Amino acid sequence: MILEIINKKRLGKELSYKELDYFFNGYLNGEIADYQMASLLMAICINGMTDEEIFSLTKIFIDSGDILDFSDIEGIKVDKHSTGGIGDKTTLVIAPIVASLGIPVIKMSGRGLGYTGGTIDKLESIPGFRIDLKEKEIFEQVKDIGVVVTGQTKDLAPMDKVIYALRDVTGTVSSIPLIASSIMSKKIASDADKILIDIKVGNGALLKTKEEAKKLSELMIKIGEVYGREVRTIISDMNTPLGKCIGNALEVLEAVDVLKGKEDSTNLFNLCVELATEMVSMGKDVSKEDARKLVLESIDTGKALKKFEEMVKYQNGDLTAIKVSDKTIKIKANKTGEIKKINALELGKLSLALGAGKIKKSDKIDYSVGIKLNKLVGSYVKAGDLLMTLYVNKDAIDVNIDDIFTIE
């Protein structure tokens, strides 16, 4: 049966729910080996899946764990997910904005993958901040203050966790059917009423082309329909990193600055406003124009910042104790001209080399290190001008400026 299923998919044929269920649950129970699952995943990667197969797989993922029930919480719960990028701290900004406008936000976030940082790692850079809340605690916090950002509860789509770990090491992460089932199963199991997906495209993202992003978008909307959930998607650029900072503590501080209205001209600010506008429009059933006004007002009046501080305090965090390394390396321009590009992928690699993420699973993240861009795309620089500051805990680091900055 195992080989028959692998061969069927290798030949591009459709697998039934029963076959997928047998194989994936067999893997979870330890009856099917890593190499057999890896082989099926690669066949899926190469030959794709039909919509029916994708719906089946999503159901198998959902049914592998708990299905949370937050139906007692008043209001439309809107969740948001990003397919992952470099410098993506949008959740830290958006969750409090949306919650400050009376829409309950329960956001279960993940850790970094590959070169991309994870929201949970960022939040852990706030000393004391709890990211391991239980369902009951999540429920109470949302009832009390309307917002929670935490790690996934242990039993939420556990099948996704093991399959993702295998995909990560078998070159099968960027399969569109697998991404769609992975993300949607978690969003549906965590009981979101409406879902916004930020699909990233570019060299620093899982998906490299707009066509792939559009395909993923259509699929996720279809899966949402099967479960009666409205799904909206935004396709956003990930050739350039989001905002100015990459690295956990630095990114939290940057998110605070956005909430303070201090960073209102970056790609980060624009994307946060766009995403929050969609969420508010979905949560309040209002036009995008009205939603956008509310979002900007929440930032301008300090309501969103207050909500963020309230959330951090509720989850035991101490924002005043965040530590950024005081050892820095300044990287200066080697030529004069306009900055045409800043390469997200190269900065992702650099931040990993600094210790801001994990190269091996057993690595420990250094929350205090990272990168701050002192100049952004479009800036005119002279040779010798400061391009970026590295916050380090190392004596030396290799940086090839020309790989990161295109100056012409």
For 263, the token pair is 């960073």
Q: Decide whether 126 or 178 has the Cβ nearer to ligand URA.
A: 178
Q: E-assigned strands of 83-227?
A: 105-109, 147-151, 194-201
Residue nearest to ligand URA (CB): 182
Q: Report the residue from 119, 182, 233, 315 that binds ligand URA according to the rule CB under 6 A.
A: 182
Q: Decide whether 241 or 355 has the Cβ nearer to ligand URA.
A: 241
For the bound state, the minimum distance from the C-beta of residue 251 to ligand URA, rounded and expressed in Å, comes to 18
Q: Decide whether 156 or 390 has the Cβ nearer to ligand URA.
A: 156
- Which residues have a Cβ under 8 Å from the Cβ of 108 and sit 6 or more positions away? 150, 151, 152, 153, 156, 186, 190
**32 near 164, Cβ under 8 Å?**
no
Told to check if 213 binds ligand URA by CB under 6 A, we report: no
> Across-strand partners of 370?
391
Residue 9, helix vs strand vs coil = helix
Site string for ligand URA, 307-336 (x = CB under 6 A): ------------------------------
Told to check if 370 binds ligand URA by CB under 6 A, we report: no
Told to check if 183 binds ligand URA by CB under 6 A, we report: yes
328 alpha carbon, distance to own chain's centre? 28
DSSP class of residue 113 equals: B
Helix then strand then coil, % of the chain, to nearest 5 = 45, 15, 40
Window 73-92: residues binding ligand URA (CB under 6 A): 83-84
Q: Decide whether 183 or 276 has the Cβ nearer to ligand URA.
A: 183
- Which residues have a Cβ under 8 Å from the Cβ of 293 and sit 6 or more positions away? none
For the bound state, the minimum distance from the C-beta of residue 105 to ligand URA, rounded and expressed in Å, comes to 18
Q: Decide whether 159 or 322 has the Cβ nearer to ligand URA.
A: 159
Q: Decide whether 155 or 297 has the Cβ nearer to ligand URA.
A: 155
Site string for ligand URA, 93-122 (x = CB under 6 A): -----------------x------------
Whose tokens are 């100015």? That residue is: 244
39, 56, 100, 182: the active-site residue: 182
**281 near 291, Cβ under 8 Å?**
yes
Q: 386: part of which helix (H) or strand (E)?
A: strand 386-391
Window 191-210: residues binding ligand URA (CB under 6 A): 206
Residue 266, helix vs strand vs coil = coil
59, 167, 229, 307: the active-site residue: 167
State yes or no: is 143 an active-site residue: no
9, 77, 107, 186: the active-site residue: 186
**173 near 114, Cβ under 8 Å?**
yes
For the bound state, the minimum distance from the C-beta of residue 269 to ligand URA, rounded and expressed in Å, comes to 24
Task: State which amino acid sits at residue 278.
Answer: E
For 74, the token pair is 């008043």
Window 35-54: residues binding ligand URA (CB under 6 A): none
- Which residues have a Cβ under 8 Å from the Cβ of 197 and sit 6 or more positions away? 80, 81, 82, 83, 183, 217, 220, 231, 232, 233, 234
Q: How many residues bind ligand URA (CB under 6 A)?
A: 8
State yes or no: is 186 an active-site residue: yes
Window 244-303: residues binding ligand URA (CB under 6 A): none
For the bound state, the minimum distance from the C-beta of residue 174 to ligand URA, rounded and expressed in Å, comes to 8
Told to check if 179 binds ligand URA by CB under 6 A, we report: yes
59, 77, 81, 187: the active-site residue: 81
With contacts defined by CB under 6 A, name the span among 10-18, 177-185, 272-280, 364-372 that binds ligand URA.
177-185
DSSP class of residue 309 equals: H
Told to check if 176 binds ligand URA by CB under 6 A, we report: no
For the bound state, the minimum distance from the C-beta of residue 198 to ligand URA, rounded and expressed in Å, comes to 11
CB atoms within 10 A of CB 403: 13
State yes or no: is 81 an active-site residue: yes
88, 121, 160, 366: the active-site residue: 160
Q: Decide whether 41 or 245 has the Cβ nearer to ligand URA.
A: 41
Residue 111, helix vs strand vs coil = coil
What is the distance between the alpha carbons of residues 170 and 177, in angstroms, rounded to a whole number?
16
For 13, the token pair is 């044929």
Q: 407: part of which helix (H) or strand (E)?
A: strand 405-407
Active-site amino acid positions: 81, 160, 167, 182, 186
List residues binding ligand URA (CB under 6 A).
Answer: 83-84, 110, 178-179, 182-183, 206
